């Protein structure tokens, strides 16, 4: 038993080839630096030399990492990170999600679960505290994650929580997700890594709780945080959801449209949350242990049934404007199909939009696949999920598809390091462009919140200077701590001094005496660890860039939105130096 507060002081190393598991101790100093979630998961991957292995090989490692706050009364703390080498990028990947899986997983008595090997047949990995076993999952194979989870609940009972892959993960779609209670660890293909191990689902149950160093203070802090979470800083998420971005981004011409050729879409009004609220019934929901309640769920008909579909800005942008599909119902159906197959909506939409442009340019002989054709979008998603026909190529993501097509199509494949860009047009939000280019998991809006810098009055978002590189570093540092301690990023607006308040919360849980400076140092250590992993896995500075079309052409609808290679490189160099790396992005020292 650990004498740590908030931690068990050990992780579980599972070999699904043999069906055996061993608890392994965690060094308290490592926990103090890397905290949990993304930080802890990355550190464990480094220790297991996971950069050496093909992400889909049996030797690869997949980590489910919890955090010291999991199980506490702090709002939004029921979260976990899934960390592995990405089959889409070949670099580090960490995806986060919320659900009771975090709470039940931690109650097994472990701060993380590391999975290696490959089961002989499709299996359910059952972790009941120290008892680990494999059960056949052949009856669940080909079911959606949601359908499989329903069956698992019936079979195992309510004490268990589950993380499940859909057919996309089984079929090794390189951007397959891991799902649980309608939430998804979405980006980078962790679902394919689990599928490659022949694991359809992980079932966890336990009774082992960690204690808190200062329970009274923690409860008081949790009450205060919940109260603040009801305030104006989160009301956008509560009332409209992230979909509220659609109209704003369209007006600012930073809504990626037609495979990042335009920054506005004349069908955006139809896809706004206001229009959806007017057209159909909506239900609001929230993650486990969350007082914000950002989840907006709409009923849609699909394949003769009514489905409940959760809508976020990223789904709408990727499956709507990016593919120029304007029909609200079709976009909702496309989102539902992605959930059904268990595939990332951003990479799905990005890859299909890229393919649509290739068809238009005569580079890909799939004449049915046209911008604006909703039926073609739905057909393409089916082909990807089932890995049939041209879906076999689409399932590898836009970078590999571009390499197959050739003809310099890589210039407009919407990806960085292989990860498709989310819904922030880089030429119109140029601090975000920097964040995309240097992101350790590729183009990403959750590991870098640099778009916030572009919304500052002191910044000209279409003409950024190297001064903004330091601000981009700060948003990454904040995200690294949020993703490791772990709290929802939608809370970030409620803090006056995020690092100071976070250190106080961690101290109440752990009994440590962390300062805001200690947490800043942790953020740097976490990001250095991710970079270290990438360098070990083959990263070179030339990966830190954007698709070359974005560096040579203005947006079709905004001639002020231009960015060139020299400007981006000067931003990257300033960023690298601000990080304490050499100017090309290599670490001065490594732990390997």
Partner 1 sequence: MKIKIEYYGIPRQRVGIASEMLVFDHEQMGIKDIILTIARRHPEFQKHCMDGDEINKNFTVNLNGDKFYQVDDGFAQDGDSLLILSMDAGG
Q: Which stretches of the chain bind partner 1, using CB under 8 A?
A: 232-233, 235-237, 239-240, 242, 244-245, 247-249, 251-253, 274, 312-314, 317, 422-424, 445, 449, 451-452, 455-457, 459-460, 489-490, 492-493
Nearest to 358 by CA among 370, 347, 341, 343: 370
The two structure tokens encoding residue 276:
């959806």
Cβ closer to partner 1: 50 or 322? Answer: 322
CA 361 vs CA 354, 356, 364, 552: distances in Å:
11, 9, 8, 18
Cβ closer to partner 1: 9 or 263? Answer: 263
- The least CB distance from residue 77 to partner 1, in Å, is 18
Cβ closer to partner 1: 185 or 240? Answer: 240
Q: Which residues pair with 283 in a beta bridge?
A: 297
Distance CA 450, CA 433 (A): 8
Residues 6+ apart with CB under 8 A from 539: 91, 531
- The least CB distance from residue 217 to partner 1, in Å, is 27
Helix or strand holding residue 298 (H, E): strand 295-302
Cβ closer to partner 1: 389 or 493? Answer: 493
- The least CB distance from residue 203 to partner 1, in Å, is 32
Q: Which residue has the tokens 């009941």?
A: 128
Q: Which residues pair with 489 in a beta bridge?
A: none
| E-strand stretches of 38-111 | 62-65, 79-85, 92-98
- The least CB distance from residue 455 to partner 1, in Å, is 6
Nearest to 110 by CA among 213, 15, 7: 7
Cβ closer to partner 1: 260 or 539? Answer: 260
- The least CB distance from residue 269 to partner 1, in Å, is 9
Distance CA 475, CA 461 (A): 16
Helix or strand holding residue 29 (H, E): helix 28-34
DSSP sequence for 202-250:
EEEE---PPP-TTHHHHHHHHHHHHHHHTSGGGHHHHHT-GGGHHHHHH
3-state SS, residue 180: strand
The two structure tokens encoding residue 211:
């204690």
The two structure tokens encoding residue 497:
């001094």
Distance CA 272, CA 276 (A): 6
Cβ closer to partner 1: 248 or 587? Answer: 248
3-state SS, residue 11: strand
Cis-peptide into 117, omega within 30 deg: no
Following CA atoms 576, 578, 579, 581 in sequence, which dihedral angle do they give, to the nearest 10 degrees? 50
3-state SS, residue 547: coil
Cβ closer to partner 1: 252 or 355? Answer: 252
Distance CA 405, CA 364 (A): 7
- The least CB distance from residue 253 to partner 1, in Å, is 7
H helices of 361-497, where? 374-386, 391-394, 398-405, 430-438, 451-454, 467-485
Q: How many residues does the chain have?
A: 592
Distance CA 312, CA 326 (A): 16
Cβ closer to partner 1: 197 or 441? Answer: 441
Cβ closer to partner 1: 446 or 522? Answer: 446
Cβ closer to partner 1: 236 or 549? Answer: 236
Cβ closer to partner 1: 314 or 543? Answer: 314
Contact in structure between 453 and 468 (CB atoms under 8 Å): yes
Contact in structure between 1 and 28 (CB atoms under 8 Å): no
- The least CB distance from residue 417 to partner 1, in Å, is 20
Cβ closer to partner 1: 121 or 456? Answer: 456
Cβ closer to partner 1: 252 or 413? Answer: 252
| 198 CB-contact burial (10 Å; exposed 0-12 / middle 13-18 / buried 19+) | buried
- The least CB distance from residue 225 to partner 1, in Å, is 17
Buried b (16+ CB within 10 A) or exposed e, 20-29: ebeeeebeee
Cβ closer to partner 1: 340 or 461? Answer: 461
DSSP sequence for 306-327:
EEEEE--HHHHHHHTGGGT---
- The least CB distance from residue 441 to partner 1, in Å, is 17
Cβ closer to partner 1: 127 or 482? Answer: 482
- The least CB distance from residue 449 to partner 1, in Å, is 7
């Amino acid at each position: 038993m650990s004498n740590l507060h908030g931690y068990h002081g050990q992780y579980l190393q599972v070999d699904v080839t043999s069906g055996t598991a061993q608890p392994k101790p965690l060094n308290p100093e490592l926990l103090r630096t890397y905290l949990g979630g993304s930080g802890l998961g990355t550190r464990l991957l480094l220790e297991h030399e996971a950069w050496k292995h093909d992400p889909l090989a049996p030797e690869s490692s997949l980590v489910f990492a919890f955090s010291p706050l999991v199980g506490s009364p702090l709002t939004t703390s029921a979260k976990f990170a899934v960390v592995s080498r990405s089959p889409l990028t070949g670099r580090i990947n960490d995806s986060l999600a919320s659900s009771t899986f975090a709470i039940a997983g931690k109650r097994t008595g472990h701060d993380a679960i590391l999975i290696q090997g490959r089961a002989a047949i499709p299996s359910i990995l059952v972790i009941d505290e120290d008892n680990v076993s494999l059960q056949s999952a052949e009856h669940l194979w080909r079911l959606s994650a949601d359908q499989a989870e329903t069956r698992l609940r019936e079979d195992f009972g309510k004490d268990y929580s589950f993380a499940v892959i859909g057919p996309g993960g089984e079929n090794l779609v390189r951007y397959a997700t891991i799902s649980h209670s309608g939430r998804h660890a979405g980006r980078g293909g962790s679902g394919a890594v689990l599928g490659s191990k022949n694991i359809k689902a992980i079932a966890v149950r336990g009774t082992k709780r960690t204690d808190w160093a200062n329970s009274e203070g923690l409860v008081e802090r949790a009450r205060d945080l919940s109260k603040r979470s009801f305030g104006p800083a989160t009301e956008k998420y509560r009332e409209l959801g992230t979909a509220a971005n659609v109209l704003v981004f369209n007006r600012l011409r930073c809504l990626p449209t037609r495979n990042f050729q335009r920054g506005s879409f004349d069908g955006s009004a139809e896809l706004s949350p206001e229009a959806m609220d007017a057209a159909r019934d909506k239900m609001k929901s929230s993650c486990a242990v969350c007082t914000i309640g950002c989840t907006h769920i709409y009923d849609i008909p699909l394949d003769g049934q009514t489905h409940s579909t959760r809508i976020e800005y990223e789904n709408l942008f990727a499956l709507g404007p990016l593919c120029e599909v304007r029909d609200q119902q079709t976009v909702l159906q496309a989102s539902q199909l992605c959930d059904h197959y268990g595939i990332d909506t951003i990479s799905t939409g990005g890859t299909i939009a890229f393919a649509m442009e290739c068809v238009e340019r005569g580079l890909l002989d799939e004449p049915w696949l046209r911008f604006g054709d909703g039926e073609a979008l739905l057909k393409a998603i089916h082909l990807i999920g089932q890995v049939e026909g041209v879906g076999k190529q689409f399932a590898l993501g836009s970078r590999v598809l571009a390499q197959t097509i050739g003809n310099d199509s890589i210039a407009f494949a919407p990806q960085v390091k292989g990860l498709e860009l989310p819904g922030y047009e880089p030429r119109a939000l140029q601090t975000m462009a920097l964040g995309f280019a240097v992101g350790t998991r590729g183009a990403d809006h959750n590991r870098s919140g640099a778009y916030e810098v572009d919304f500052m009055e002191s910044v000209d978002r279409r003409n950024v200077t190297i001064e903004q590189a330091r601000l981009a570093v700060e948003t990454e540092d904040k995200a690294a701590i949020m993703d490791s301690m772990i709290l929802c990023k939608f809370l970030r607006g409620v803090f006056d001094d995020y690092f100071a308040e976070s250190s106080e919360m961690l101290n109440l849980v752990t009994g440590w005496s962390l300062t805001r400076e200690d947490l800043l140092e942790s953020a740097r250590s976490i990001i250095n660890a991710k970079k270290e992993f990438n360098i070990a896995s083959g990263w070179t500075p030339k990966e830190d860039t954007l698709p070359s079309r974005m560096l040579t052409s203005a947006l079709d609808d905004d001639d002020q939105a231009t960015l060139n290679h020299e400007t981006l490189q000067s931003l990257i160099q300033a960023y690298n130096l601000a990080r304490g790396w050499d100017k090309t992005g290599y670490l001065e020292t490594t732990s390997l």
